[in-house]
A and B are shown apart, each in its own frame.
Chain A
Amino acid sequence: MISFAQRLENQGYADLRAVEVSTLQLNLGWRCNQSCKHCHLQAGPDRPEQMALATIEEVIRVVADHKIPVADLTGGAPELNLHFEYLVDKLRQLGVHVRCRSNLTVLLEPDKEFLPAFLAERGVELICSLPYYQEEMVDRVRGKGAFRKCLDALNRLNRLGYGLDGSDLELHLMYNPGGAFFPPPQGPLEELFRRELSRRWGVSFHRLYTLLNMPIGRFGEFLHRSSNYASYMGKLAASFNPATVPGLMCRSLLSVAWDGRLYDCDFHQALNLPLAPGLPQTIEEFDHSILAARPIRLEEHCYGCTAGSGSSCGGRIVGQ
């Protein structure tokens, strides 16, 4: 298989660089109330990694000083960080658009039931993980009972206005395949989810995004264990689509890890592949002009973002 860097060079991207830093993706910690089979970070209830208050203060300073328009909160379950509410409040006071990637079930944890109203009052955009519209598939990926909890959380969010037609409270769903296959085309799948979730469970949402499973972390282990790794990687490489390159999320997003270290994306973070040498390495060293034009670190799993219609934290990059 030709290396990803070589493939890009062949397409005229010998030196792939960021074009801006319009989104700071903040990984608030690897602790999660779930242990999903596809998780690239291998997050779970026993993970100790948590962003400390001092790092959060530094993030707030950077966002304010450089007028970063979007903060994308992720984890683990970002809501489990002890300083989550403090961070959201500060970011909203700065006028930053706050996006939270929620697993939904965390909103039902005993001490977190206030969160839906908290998020709604602050106009936080929610991107909620839901691998399918049926119980069996969701529970297989996320654990027994997860689907019913997701529905409960979605119903609560809908009652607050999230995901309803004409509502400013944005509720989007994030689909990822339940195994070693590619996601369906986003448009038709969104139609299918909208019809089935509404018909079966009365659930509303705004958009559905599709995300390809990266061949790393728990999913990577599954690929090796099930002897699917070679064929999956081969298919990723064979599906390389040069049209996705201009829209790759690493060109406008910077990932901040729980310990304040900087990465091109959450996947590089999972593999401890820091920014290229010579670049600022931590949030304390943040330099907007340098980072906004930084060279991107290219690795083999990057094929996961350029396959077919492309894949990103905002769903497919091109096409249907």
Chain B
Amino acid sequence: MSHYYEDKDLERFQEVGKYRADLFDNFMNYYQGVMGAGGALTVREKALIALAVAHTVQCPYCIDAYTRVSLENGSNLEEMTEAVHVAAAIRGGAALIHGVQMQNVAAKITF
């Protein structure tokens, strides 16, 4: 098997709409409404959030796309790296906070 994720597959996103085009169109309208200009957040801010989320969900297409979109909206590598750290901090924090659950369970089953 070659690479599971191919760069060019991102350009084929529309092909997902071959079946149940209504659902795909609904998604795309929603997506464009969320990510477009004119909201309370700037497109630049949204792109940085998307970049952080892309790292959280570890989607190669999203990382490619939102690295580019962030640069194309004037962000720099310092800001983009900080966004990735935000993702890492929340992921790390999310793991760590479950230490309370671990302690709860341990307290319940130990003397």
Residues of A with C-beta under 8 A to B43:
185, 188
Contact with B along A281-320 (1 / 0, CB 8 A): 0000000000000000000000000000000000000001
Contact stretch, chosen from A85-93, A109-117, A176-184: A176-184
A189 touches B76 (CB 8 A): no
B72 touches A181 (CB 8 A): yes
A183 touches B72 (CB 8 A): yes
Size class of the contact patch on chain B: 10 to 19
A interface residues, tally (CB under 8 Å): 17
Residues of B with C-beta under 8 A to A134:
76, 78
B74 at the interface (CB under 8 A from A): yes
A181 touches B74 (CB 8 A): no
Residues of B with C-beta under 8 A to A182:
72
Query: In whole angstroms, what is the CA distance A132 to B77 when docked?
Result: 12
B14 at the interface (CB under 8 A from A): no
B73 touches A177 (CB 8 A): no
B58 at the interface (CB under 8 A from A): no
A276 at the interface (CB under 8 A from B): no
B71 touches A177 (CB 8 A): yes
A181 touches B68 (CB 8 A): yes
Residues of B with C-beta under 8 A to A181:
68, 71-72
A189 touches B68 (CB 8 A): no
B76 touches A185 (CB 8 A): no
Q: What is the distance, in angstroms, from B39's C-beta to the closest C-beta of chain A?
A: 13
Q: What is the distance, in angstroms, from B24's C-beta to the closest C-beta of chain A?
A: 20
Q: What is the distance, in angstroms, from B17's C-beta to the closest C-beta of chain A?
A: 18
B55 at the interface (CB under 8 A from A): no
B: residues with CB less than 8 A from A are 7, 37, 42-44, 68, 71-74, 76-78
A: residues with CB less than 8 A from B are 132, 134, 136-137, 177-179, 181-185, 188-189, 192, 231, 320
User: Can you name 21 A-B pairs with beta carbons within 8 Å?
Assistant: A134-B76, A134-B78, A136-B76, A137-B76, A137-B77, A179-B71, A181-B68, A181-B71, A181-B72, A182-B72, A183-B72, A184-B44, A184-B72, A184-B73, A185-B43, A188-B42, A188-B73, A188-B74, A189-B74, A192-B74, A320-B37
